[in-house]
Structure formats: C-alpha cells, structure tokens
Amino acid sequence: MGSQAAVSFLTNIWVAVVAQFNADQLLTEHPQVSALVRNGLTERAKNFNIVLDDVAITHLSYGAEFSRAVEQKQVVGIFKMVVLPLLGQLADEHGRKPLLLLTVFTSIFPFVHPYAKPLALLVATLLLICLGGLALYGVTDGSLAECLWLSWTYIADSGNHAGSEGIGWKLVSVSISFGGMLIFAMMLGLVSDAISEKLDSLRKGRSEVVEQNHTLILGWSDKLGSLANESLGGGIVVVMADAPELSYMFYQDHLLYHLIIHVAKEEFPHDTRFRFREYMKEKSIMPLRSAIKGILEGDASPSAMMVLCISAICSNCDLENETCSVAVIGAENNNATKVELTDGWYAMDVVLDAPLSNQLAVGKLFVGQKLRIWGAGLCGWFAPVSPLEVSKTVTLLLHMNGTYRAHWADRLGFYKGVGSPLAFRCIKSNGGPVPQTIVGVTRIYPVLYKERFSNGGSIVRSERMECRMVQVYDQRRSTVVEGIVSEFQRGIKGSNNYNDTDSEEEATILKILETAAEPEVLMAEMSPQQLTSFTTYKAKLEATKQSDMEKSIEKALEDANLGVREVTPFMRVRVVGLTSKISDRKDSPKEGLITIWNPTEQQVNLRVFCFA
C-alpha cells in the first residue's frame, strides 16, 4: 500500500456486503466489482488531494460487524462514491439487493502530529546553539561550555553583546543572532495560531458545527432531505444524531447497492480530517437525498438537471396512460420504448421519445450507463406519493435534446446550476424542448401580431396594421357604448321600478320629487326614517339601472362582433450555430428560424451578430 509515501493515507480497505449471499462468491463470479471499487475509490480520493498507490480488498464481512463498529462510534462520516449497476442484478430470495460498505483506515505520520511544529522548533533551537557554540569555540579562546552559553545569549539577547573582536568572531555572532530572530519569529507565529484555534474552538462549543449561516437539526427524520433542499441557496445543514440512529435510518430508507466510504476516527490524520469536513460542508446533506423520491413526493422539479443510471430495459411496452402516449413523439399504436432508471435509492419507469428509442435500438443506450437529464417531464402524477407505492402509470418523459451521456464516475442525483449548452447543429427537430443553446443572430424580423377569432380562424398583421385595427376597434366600441348610454339617459331603456316588492310610498315620493318645482322643500319636510328609506331605495334603483346598462352594452358589443380581442405579439429571428475555430468540420454552420411569442423589451432590442 505504499505506507512510506507521505501522500498515501490508505492502508487497509474493509468491504462489508449486506445481503443474504456469499460475499467471496460475489467477487469470484463478478471480478468487475473489484475493478469498479478500485476505480471509484481512486477517482473520489482525488477530491481530497489524496493519491492512492494501490487499492486491495483485504477483508470481507457481513453487516453485523459493521454495525458493531458504528455502535462503538468509530465512524465519523458517510460519503457516496460510485453506484455499481451490476449489483442491481443480484438479489437474495427476498428480493433484497446488496450494499457495499467501504471503511478506510489511515496511519498517523509525524508531520501531521499536533505537536510536530513545536518539537521541530525546539530541535532547530538546540541545533543552532550547538553549531554556534562550535563556531565560537574555533574563533575565540574560551572553553566549549563558555562558547555554548555565549551562543545561547546571542540567540536570546543579541543586543547586549558589543565586545566581539576580530572578523571571525563578528561574522559568527551576526549569523547566530540572525538565526535567533527567525526562531523567535516562528515561535510568535505558533503562539498566535494556537490562541486563534483555541478561541475558535471555544466559540464553536468544541465541536465541528459551523459558526454562522447554518441550520441545526436535532435528530434524523425522513423529512430531512426536504429541509436540506431548501438550503441550497446558501448556508449549511448540520444534523446532530447518534451514529447507530444514522445507520438505522440508512437501512430503513432502502439504500440499494451504494458504495459508501467510512472514515475511522481514532486513527485519522489531523489535516486530512479537516479535508473531509470541508467536503461535508460543500456537499451538505444533499447526497443523502433521493432524486426520484423528491420528484414523486413533490419536493423537486423533474425538469432539474440530474444524473440517473439505466437499471433495466423493456422494449415495446404498452403505455397504460393515454396522456403519455400522446406526449411521446413518434410513438405508433400507443407503443413506445420504456426503460427503468435509478438514482441508487429507488427506480422509476421512463418513456423515451422516438430519437432516444432509435439510440437504444442501435445499442448506444445500455444497462449500467449513466445519463445526464435536463428538462424531463412527469406523466401520470397527480399527488405526492411514496416511491414504494407509486403506480406503473407514473413515468418520466425523456427527450433527445435534454438527455446526454454522463461519465461513469458522476454522482447520481440532482446537480445545482445549469449544464453546458447544446450545440445548435445537435438539436433534433423531433427531440423535444431544448434546455439551453448558444446561437448567433443574423437577422431580426419585425414584430407581428396574430389575432385568433372565436370560430377558430386567425390572421397575422404588421405593427402598422395592428395600430390601425386598434383605432378602428376602439372607435366602433365607443360608438356602440355611447348609443346605449344615451338611450338609458333618455329613458328609452330601463325602468324606474325596482321590483314588485318595493314600497309604494317610496316610489310615489320619487315620482313627486321628479315632477316637483322645488324638491328640496319637500325633502326638508320628510322625517328621518322616510329620508333613510328613500335614500336606500334610490341607491338600489341606480344600481339596477347601472347593471342593466352594462348588460345591454355587453350584448350590443357581442352582436356587433366587438368582443375582447385575442391578440398575441411574436417575432422571428434567424440564427446560426456557432463553431469553434479549431474544429475540423468543413460543412457550413447550421441555420434556423426561432419564433419568440410575447417578446420582452430586451428581446425586441436584439441586434444582429449578437449572441443569444
């Protein structure tokens, strides 16, 4: 294992297979497992700046031995490394799939000992005293003991020595004094660092909990993944739970065929421990969250970028959901290719569109391959459901333009941010929506307006024709509205009678006031109750009149075909795909026409030869 090399920290590897079958038989019949273990461990160790000289499986055991190690609190971190799709084909008589656990033991080297720097400084001081004493013994007449004491005084207090005589004595004294200043400067640095580390540990409560901008969760629960997903915008999720509880929750949460690395706490180097801790801060708790579970429970969007692995293929499967058969492009007779994808925790049926089905038919998609998916759809899902209780009608819809091959060592699950844009020449016309691409704008066409009619027809107008149409439309509406309003004002339409249940006294008073020469005098002689009742009656009468007028206006506008117009602006942009200068492709760049519906002001102000 290269224990003499300073960069080799791993000295022993312990693999525990949790399943009801012989672990030795697994490695004998499937040597690919050992190769995947070595490749995955070497690739992941690079993230911690650790170089592995060799990786060898030295011990195999079942889950009970590992559980005892967990109960003894020898495990301080759990990290996903690589999914082995091969293990998905292995199961016992109960249908349980194997779980590979990897425990890494490390050796302690002198340079990472917490007292290494003070000891090195002490050795350097003694060495300087001895060398300085020997040098003084050669240029002075004093004894060796006196020269050693004089060398120490030059190191500790060089400012009180002014009696040096001769060139040799002065050169030696200057050299010793200069070395003493360097030693005391390093000593002050060590003291300052020790004080700072002590204050930091006191502020943190002598634990590995971050100091600020974090979320503290007491205990482990099945809702922890949802809380961690909400913390992606910033901050760190810290979970305080016992190691046995953590291990138990892993087994209860159906952790299938994962490769997990565990770090032994008692024999762990000082600086490497902090590397693992920083890795935990960067990844937070996200690796413990199932992508498929988050999608089915409504906590995550299926269109987000994620990496899944093909675990099974089912060709020419009938789609039980009619909506899915309509959504699949190129599906004939409601038949389409379905595959099963897994995130390492759960599996889910996936429907492929026509281009992806062709790729599967020619062998470019196979079991064990990882796919980087972006912009997928979810079909047949109506409410949150558990992955273990989901119906077969709930499927993911994958499109060619949003599905790419992933590296074999890529971590399964969701990824933050966006991926690389799809080259314009790689876009398929029947490959579904395009998540992102980069093109050059070569021509911008004027904004047009499309009006849809109630009978299903439509017409496209230019901006000038649309302005004229709006003026004519507003003028005709104003004419109809003014005619209806004038008819109501002249009393041709409408009635002063509120309804049959109104008070005859209030109606009589209203008629008298309308025909009286001085209605103010009559109202002054009315009692307060009569005034209140009359005011209420008149308000109801006005409201009824206003309602009748609005209904008449609406009916007149419909009869004149002047209802609400359904107009949508759009613009067309001619674009060209971008190619690299160092590309060997000799064909011309691919061009296309993009239609932008309801363009924004920024899109309208696009300029030719810009990038979009």
Q: Which among 357, 243, 212, 272 is positioned nearest to 10, based on CA atoms? A: 272
Domain's final residue, options 400, 426, 452: 426
Please tell me whether residues 123 and 51 are part of one structural domain.
no
Residue 338 lies in a domain: yes
449: pLDDT confidence band, cut at 50, 70 and 90? Answer: very high
> Lowest-confidence range among 113-117, 202-206, 300-304, 366-370?
202-206
Asked whether residue 249 carries a pLDDT value surpassing 60, the answer given is: no
Angle between helices 167-203 and 116-139 (to 10 degrees): 170
Please tell me whether residues 421 and 519 are part of one structural domain.
no
Q: What are phi and psi of 44, to 5 degrees?
A: -75, -30
Please tell me whether residues 340 and 359 are part of one structural domain.
yes
Asked whether residue 338 carries a pLDDT value surpassing 70, the answer given is: yes
Please tell me whether residues 103 and 181 are part of one structural domain.
no
For 160-182, b/e burial (b = at least 16 CB within 10 A) is: eeeebeeeeeeebbeebbebbee
pLDDT on residue 357: 87
Please tell me whether residues 303 and 414 are part of one structural domain.
yes
3-state helix, strand, coil in the chain (%, to 5): 40, 20, 40
Residue 415 lies in a domain: yes
For 20-55, b/e burial (b = at least 16 CB within 10 A) is: eeebeebbeebeebeebbbebbeebbeeeebebeeb
CATH number at residue 322: 2.40.50.140
pLDDT on residue 503: 57
With a pLDDT cut of 70, the percent of the chain lying above it is: 53
- 166: phi > 0 → left, psi -120 to 50 → alpha, else beta; which? left
Please tell me whether residues 390 and 371 are part of one structural domain.
yes
Helix (H, G, I), strand (E, B) or coil at 167: helix
3-state SS string for 420-483: CCECHHHCCCCCCCCCCECEEEEEECCCEEEEECCCCCEEEECHHHHHHHHHHHHHHHHHHHHH
248: pLDDT confidence band, cut at 50, 70 and 90? Answer: very low
Average pLDDT, the chain: 68
Token pair belonging to 470? 């709006």
Q: How far apart are CA 331 and CA 535, in angstroms?
A: 70
CATH number at residue 196: 1.10.287.70
In this predicted model, which residue has the larger pLDDT, 548 or 306?
A: 306
pLDDT on residue 155: 82
Residue 575 lies in a domain: no
pLDDT on residue 441: 84
Residue 609 lies in a domain: no
Residue 576 lies in a domain: no
569: pLDDT confidence band, cut at 50, 70 and 90? Answer: very high
Q: What angle do CA 27, 29, 33 make, to 5 degrees?
A: 45
Residue 405 lies in a domain: yes
Q: Tokens 């200057």: give the residue.
A: 174
Domain's final residue, options 283, 318, 343: 283
- Residues 409-428 have a mean pLDDT of 80
Residue 593 lies in a domain: no
Please tell me whether residues 279 and 296 are part of one structural domain.
no
Asked whether residue 595 carries a pLDDT value surpassing 50, the answer given is: yes
pLDDT on residue 219: 61
> Lowest-confidence range among 324-338, 414-428, 503-517, 530-544?
324-338
CA distances to 307, 392, 475 from 99, rounded to whole Å, are 20, 26, 76
Strands 214-218 and 335-342: unpaired
Please tell me whether residues 325 and 418 are part of one structural domain.
yes
117: pLDDT confidence band, cut at 50, 70 and 90? Answer: confident
Please tell me whether residues 190 and 124 are part of one structural domain.
yes
Domain's final residue, options 216, 248, 283: 283
Please tell me whether residues 485 and 554 are part of one structural domain.
yes
pLDDT on residue 450: 92
Per-residue model confidence as pLDDT tens digits over 284-333: 444 456 888 888 988 888 888 899 999 888 755 555 554 455 445 444 43
> Lowest-confidence range among 30-39, 125-134, 537-546?
30-39
Q: How far apart are CA 321 and CA 395, in angstroms?
A: 9
- Residues 251-255 have a mean pLDDT of 36
CB 447 within 8 A of CB 463: yes
Please tell me whether residues 258 and 398 are part of one structural domain.
no
The number of domains in the chain is 4
Q: How far is CA 54 from the centre of its chain?
A: 35
- Residues 66-87 have a mean pLDDT of 39
Residue 226 lies in a domain: no
pLDDT on residue 570: 92
> Lowest-confidence range among 234-238, 469-473, 515-519, 569-573?
234-238
pLDDT on residue 380: 85
Please tell me whether residues 105 and 247 are part of one structural domain.
yes
> Lowest-confidence range among 179-183, 369-373, 537-541?
537-541
- Residues 154-162 have a mean pLDDT of 73
- Residues 441-465 have a mean pLDDT of 88
pLDDT on residue 162: 66
Asked whether residue 282 carries a pLDDT value surpassing 80, the answer given is: no
CA distances to 222, 337, 355, 427 from 359, rounded to whole Å, are 38, 11, 6, 15
> Lowest-confidence range among 188-202, 470-484, 509-523?
509-523
In this predicted model, which residue has the larger pLDDT, 544 or 386?
A: 386
Owning domain of residue 178: 116-203
Per-residue model confidence as pLDDT tens digits over 349-398: 898 888 888 888 888 888 888 999 988 888 888 888 888 888 888 888 89
